[in-house]
Amino acid sequence: MTTNDAPPALRIAGLHKSYGRPAVDGLDLLVRRGELYALLGPNGAGKTTTLRMVSGLVAPDIGRIEVLGIDLAQAPVEAKHRLAYLPDDPMLYGKLKPFEYLEFVAGLWGVDARAAEGRARALLDWLDLSQHAHELTEGFSRGMKQKLALAGALIHDPELLILDEPLTGLDAAAARQVKDLLLSHVAKGGTVILTTHILEVAERLAERIGIIRQGRLIAEGTLAELRERTSGASLEDVFLQLTAQP
Ligand SMILES: Nc1ncnc2c1ncn2[C@@H]1O[C@H](COP(=O)(O)OP(=O)(O)OP(=O)(O)O)[C@@H](O)[C@H]1O
Ligand SMILES: [Mg+2]
């Protein structure tokens, strides 16, 4: 937790996005530096749309987004350099091998080639992909692709990591590797924002949890605080109670 006056990792104010009907409908959110924040919500609640706006892939209709104090609308390149976004359906280039892919992504970010090589090696090792270094990614399993995409997101050492359902489809060992990686990012002072439908992940990893419903933040806090607000015993009870249709 920061003690100085540094701006938060993410500040969202009055965010709206409509696709005919509202997907994000007046969202306010603040994520502190060095925090692991989990965004939960039912299918269609607006989580992915929110993350896509924060990552600069989709323009908001109304609202303000600040990444580490940088206004995304005013300085999009500067803001985007400080973050990484891992979509829920990451795209890889099938005709590249893992190193080639990571070198390519590092090049896009302007990472020094030597630094990129060392980082790529460390990430592939950590994610247990080194033994597949000489294979084309088109032959990778879904989980392997997801891990490589995560390595790609981390290659430029971003301060703010934004991950859309990063653990879906991973086996237990891979999920553990990814969780450890996220915790180590936070331990080094980085910030992680993730969405998940695996409530146990939010329960175990997140310092704070935000619950979105119909494009709005309807509850937020530590697990203990959320439990206090409801009579629920588990996060699942809390979640179901808060997101139940009226
Ligand atoms: N490109 C798009 N075109 C039309 N509608 C969209 C588009 N993207 C999102 N929506 C709509 O916006 C709403 C929010 O979708 P979003 O993907 O943000 O939800 P989510 O919380 O990520 O859901 P899930 O848990 O299923 O991933 C949904 O009603 C969806 O149909
Ligand atoms: Mg989604």
246 residues of the chain, pLDDT tens digit each: 444 578 999 999 999 999 999 999 999 999 999 999 999 999 999 999 999 999 999 999 999 999 999 999 999 999 999 999 999 988 898 999 999 999 999 999 899 889 999 999 999 998 999 999 899 999 999 999 999 999 999 999 899 999 999 998 899 999 999 999 999 999 999 999 999 999 989 999 999 999 999 999 999 999 888 888 777 678 888 889 888 876
Ligand (nearest to CA of 198): 1
Atom 28 (ligand 1) nearest CA: 44
Mapped onto helix, strand or coil, the DSSP state of residue 244 is coil
Coil, helix or strand at residue 9? coil
Residue 57 Cβ inside 6 Å of ligand 1? The answer reads: no
SS3 126: helix
Which residues, 6+ apart, have CB-to-CB distance to 71 below 8 Å? 64, 65, 79
Distance 82 CA to ligand 2 centre (A): 22
Ligand number with the minimum distance to the CA of 46: 1
Whether 205 is in the pocket of ligand 1, judged by its Cβ within 6 Å, is no
Contacts of 234 (CB under 8 A, 6+ apart): 199
Residue 46 CA to ligand 1 centre (angstroms): 6
* First-last CA distance in the chain: 36
Q: Which string of DSSP letters, residue by residue, matches 148-170?
A: HHHHHHHTT--SEEEEESTTTT-
Atom of ligand 1 nearest to the CA of 197: 25
Domain at 1-82+159-170+190-246: CATH architecture: 3-Layer(aba) Sandwich (3.40)
Q: Which residue's C-alpha comes closest to atom 29 of ligand 1?
A: 44
Tell if the pTM clears 0.85, that is, is over it: yes
CB 196 near ligand 1, within 6 Å: no
Q: Where are the domains of the chain?
A: 1-82+159-170+190-246, 90-157
**210 Cβ below 6 A of ligand 1:** no
Confirm or reject: Cβ of 190 under 6 Å from ligand 1. no
Supply the residue whose CA is at minimum distance from atom 8 of ligand 1.
Answer: 49
Tell me how far CA of residue 76 lies from CA of 40, 86, 134, in angstroms: 26, 18, 36
DSSP 42: -
Distance of CA 30 to the CA centre of its chain: 14
Residue with the smallest CA separation from ligand 1 atom 19 is 44
- Give the per-residue pLDDT at 43: 96
Strands 21-31 and 10-19: antiparallel
Element counts in the chain: helices (H) and strands (E): 9, 10
Specify whether the CB–CB gap between 28 and 13 falls below 8 A. Answer: yes
DSSP 46: S
Residues 6+ apart with CB under 8 A from 95: 136, 138
Measured CA to CA, the distance from residue 240 to residue 222 in angstroms comes to 17
Counting atoms of ligand 1 from 1, which one is nearest the CA of 52?
18
